[in-house]
Amino acid sequence: MRQSCLFISMSRLDLVFPAEKLEEFNCGGQLQIYFLFNPVLLFFKKNLRQIFASLEHFGNCHFAQPAQQRNRQYNSVQIYSKTAMSSEPRNRQQTLALRKQFIGASCKLFFPEDPVKIIRAKGQYMYDENGNQYLDCINNVAHVGHCHPEVVKAAHQQNLLLNTNSRYLHDNLVDYAQRLSKTLPEKLCTFYFLNSGSEANDLALRLAQQYTKHKDVIVIDHAYHGHLTSLIDISPYKFRNLDGQKEWVHVAPLPDTYRGLYRENHKDPATAYADEVKKIIDKAHQESRKFAALFAESLPSVAGQIIPPSGYFQKVAEHIHTAGGVFIADEIQVGFGRVGKHFWAFQLQGEDFIPDIVTMGKPIGNGHPVACVATTKEIAEAFSATGVEYFNTFGGNPVSCAIGLTVLDIIEKEQLQAHALHVGNFFMELLNQQKAKHPLIGDIRGVGLFIGVDLVQDQEKRSPASKEAEFIITRLKEEFIMLSTDGPGRNVLKFKPPLCFNTKDAELVVDKLDMILRELEIRKT
């Protein structure tokens, strides 16, 4: 889309630029409005907020100092927060020093030795304080693109009207639940709205335990389901570094056909991995333990971008249902069309597989804190039967639901699900060409825009190339591409970009990856 830039002097705030002139200036492009000001004057401008609000309807509003008028490159304009406009911008080192002073050390940074200070983002791109543009390959939260103008507009317009809790009737809440229901199997027709994936998974666990009257849970090895205490207890990725495994938590092997127990040459890996779950259930029953749920990511992400073998979930669901438990599908990383072929990743297993509970988060609000649990009437009624009200202060508020509805609109209008499939297939094809050239690449796996590149030191032993993976993502950052690693050995390059990521972006990533892999090969000779 063509961008128009308009600079408005704020030395005389009584001379507001007429609305009709803004319409005329825009001419159908994406209008960028820059307010030129001396920061000192802001202390005396009482009507600043009203002016900002009146103009925000016409485009994206920014603040810039007068000296910046000479450089009209959008990338180089310093953006000022409306809530801190009187503050002088800090350089990266100043921000880092304040972060170390006030923020807990357990809150980690990407690239801690040389962190990036990001001040704005648009689409699949992020920008640092110097105007450098980075291609974002890992931010699955900004699902339809960073700062999508329709999402921003929806939030702003609803904020102007009302934002309160769900104890009042409001159309946004019921409209959103109805829209979500149309994307899911018919039996998943009751919804609870929350603020984060962790909250959603915690509630899913409560629903399962209340419905079954049992406690024990089966989880997949290396899984991560959230940061709350209840979820750390069922996340092997976390609890192995803390207090260890609780007696009511049972860990099933990761259904990884590349480096797991049953690999690509096994005649029926789905049944073999499902039989491991059956063994866990049988052993637990001998100890008089009873199951509430099997909790699984539809596509294990932290475990290394794993694609479970087809038919695995159907067989596992049969085992857990026979044991009296329910199947919980964690779609927080991979839902909302990312896999391309389907709207939900669990649908990759086939139409005959339907979870009892589905949890959603991350992409659902495109960066706004929204989450959801979808379940059956029977499970919801058992939860209500306790007589204890479930209330979430911010869950399902009008602004969150307006944003959620808009995200669904954009996915449909911009055909992002089909786009994810097309670009993902193209990207996988390019990556597989690199696999044929570079022995460091052991496996390429993925679906849609959920892709993992498994790096190995040895093709036969498949030992993780962890140091090489760290080198690659660091070098990619130097080439202005943001990427990260996952997997038990931190050797899997994970690609989960915003869905507006395109074929040219894929070509750029693969060209840079090829260059860096050649650098590594030269260093080893």
| Segment 160-196, tens digit of pLDDT | 999 999 999 999 999 999 999 999 999 999 999 999 9
User: Which pLDDT score is estimated for 33?
Assistant: 53
User: Which pLDDT score is estimated for 178?
Assistant: 99
> What is the domain-level CATH number for residue 477?
3.90.1150.10
244 and 276 assigned to the same domain: yes
Q: How confident is the model at residue 41 (pLDDT cuts 50, 70, 90)?
A: very low
- Indicate if the pLDDT at residue 4 is higher than 60: no
Report yes or no on 327 lying in a domain: yes
pLDDT digits (tens, 9 = 90+) for 486-508: 999 999 999 999 999 999 999 99
349 and 431 assigned to the same domain: no
433 and 373 assigned to the same domain: no
pLDDT digits (tens, 9 = 90+) for 397-452: 999 999 999 999 999 999 999 999 999 999 999 999 999 999 999 999 999 999 99
237 and 366 assigned to the same domain: yes
Q: Among the three residues 389, 414, 439, which one is the final residue of a domain in this structure?
A: 414
Tell me how far CA of residue 115 lies from CA of 94, 101, 131, 461, 493, in angstroms. Answer: 12, 16, 15, 34, 19
Contact (Cβ atoms closer than 8 angstroms) between residue 215 and residue 290: yes
Report yes or no on 88 lying in a domain: no
Within 10 A of 516 (CB to CB), how many other CB atoms are there?
21
Q: Please give the share of the chain, as a percent, with pLDDT higher than 90.
A: 80
Q: How confident is the model at residue 68 (pLDDT cuts 50, 70, 90)?
A: very low
d(CA 176, CA 181): 9
Domain that holds residue 166: 149-414
| C-alpha dihedral, 495 to 497 to 501 to 503, nearest 10° | 0
> What is the domain-level CATH number for residue 363?
3.40.640.10
Contact (Cβ atoms closer than 8 angstroms) between residue 193 and residue 396: yes
Q: How confident is the model at residue 89 (pLDDT cuts 50, 70, 90)?
A: confident
429 and 468 assigned to the same domain: yes
